[in-house]
Amino acid sequence: MDKLLIRGGKPLRGELTVSGAKNAALPILAATILSSEPIVVRNLPHLHDVTTMIELLGCLGVQVVVDERLGVEVDARSITNFKADYDLVKTMRASILVLGPLVARFGEAHVSFPGGCAIGSRPVNIHLKGLEAMGARIEIDSGYIHAYSEGRLKGAHIVMETVTVGGTENLLMAAALADGETVLDNAAKEPEVVDLANCLIAMGAQIRGHGTDRIVITGVDRLHHCEFSVMPDRIESGTYLVAAAATGGAITLRGAEPGSMDVVLQKLRDAGAEVTIDGQTIHLDMHGRRPLPVDIKTAPYPGFPTDMQAQFTAMNAVAEGVSTVIETVFENRLVQTHEMIRMGANIKIQGNTAIIEGQRELQGAPVMASDLRASASLVIAGLVANGETIVDRIYHIDRGYECIEERLQSLGADIRRIH
């Protein structure tokens, strides 16, 4: 099993171009099922999760071809199978996103309950209740969700009991082909949800209110061809910015989307970073200083993203003072702190709160990743630590970061993949 070997203590310096957003690419790929014509998706990140989603589409009978400009042409006219098998779905929670499109377009879907990161409870009951409100019949049997619709789904007013990104995306896609108007209240506002809505609109869907907590969809009979480029990855951007800040370095990110990162950029400024923005370019410079401690509390967008909590926790571990990190979205998302403590971090956990007393130095140690963002935080801790850090179980990190060791090497890090 691959590991990352890091020799820390070097400030990160240099330039990177931001990859496409995994969390936008996956629902957009699922949305291609809805179209009666081929769809071309560009700026897909080269990630294991994206490969898995393309493989899942292929198992359904979708034809996927890479064009000469590295876009992926997806043709769902050849779908013959409506079953998403456990063997694929178990590795990636986003597999559930084929449920809404399949039942909306073909009246039938059989999707295994999903897997993914072990970061706490992420039930799919809101997805299922929403589809039932639109007229689908749902049956659960042997770990599979079976959904059926006689004729088109029907527009409905759906109030989601909690804010759910995946639930909003699944119901948004299903509603695009439903008969009549669907209103999604308490909808997720994440930029990736907006990107999906913009892709659906390019395919001919009638959607308004995306980016607010009320999305209104007027169903259409069919969706058509479009070419769509996936938005830049705000979490990848934030991770490299935090890594540079934690190491006292300076970094320039090109092809970013600063408007989707307001709260993260402000917290980096609070940590003492000089952050400047020029269009789609973000420049961060710590001028060699240690970061200042920053208090964070995770919340749905536009609040502080749970997907950036672990990285800031690693930065706070070497900050000049005491900070508090409160995780409100996923109950197991502070699990990586126990590995940081092995590296000399002074972190006390009280329920969903971490109280962090920044240390001047961390010490390299063997550590084990428990999920995607925890992996990134342990890499950041390794970059600032004295001596060697070995991060095990990095298959997690490959799900969300494209060639992370090569990109960090280009910024001057001493990091390599070992077996």
* Catalytically annotated residues: 117
Ordered alpha helix ranges (H), 90-233: 99-106, 125-133, 165-176, 191-202
Instruction: Indicate the DSSP class of residue 154.
Output: B
Rounded to the nearest 10 degrees, the angle between the axes of helix 191-202 and helix 165-176 is: 10
Q: What gap in Å lies between CA 325 and CA 310, rounded to an integer?
A: 9
Dihedral pair phi/psi, residue 86, rounded to 5° = -55, -40
CA torsion sign for 6, 11, 17, 19 is positive
Pairing of strands 83-84, 108-112: parallel
C-beta neighbour count of 418 within 10 angstroms: 9
DSSP track, 63-124: EEEE-TTS-EEEEGGG----EE-HHHHTT-GGGGGGHHHHHHHHSEEEEEPP----SS----
CA distance 133 to 146: 15
Residue 338 parent element (H or E): helix 337-342
Q: Which residues contact 332 (CB under 8 A, 6 or more apart)?
A: 118, 119, 120
Task: In whole angstroms, give the CA distance from residue 34 to residue 372.
Answer: 29
Q: How many CA atoms lie within 13 A of 89 on its CB side?
A: 19
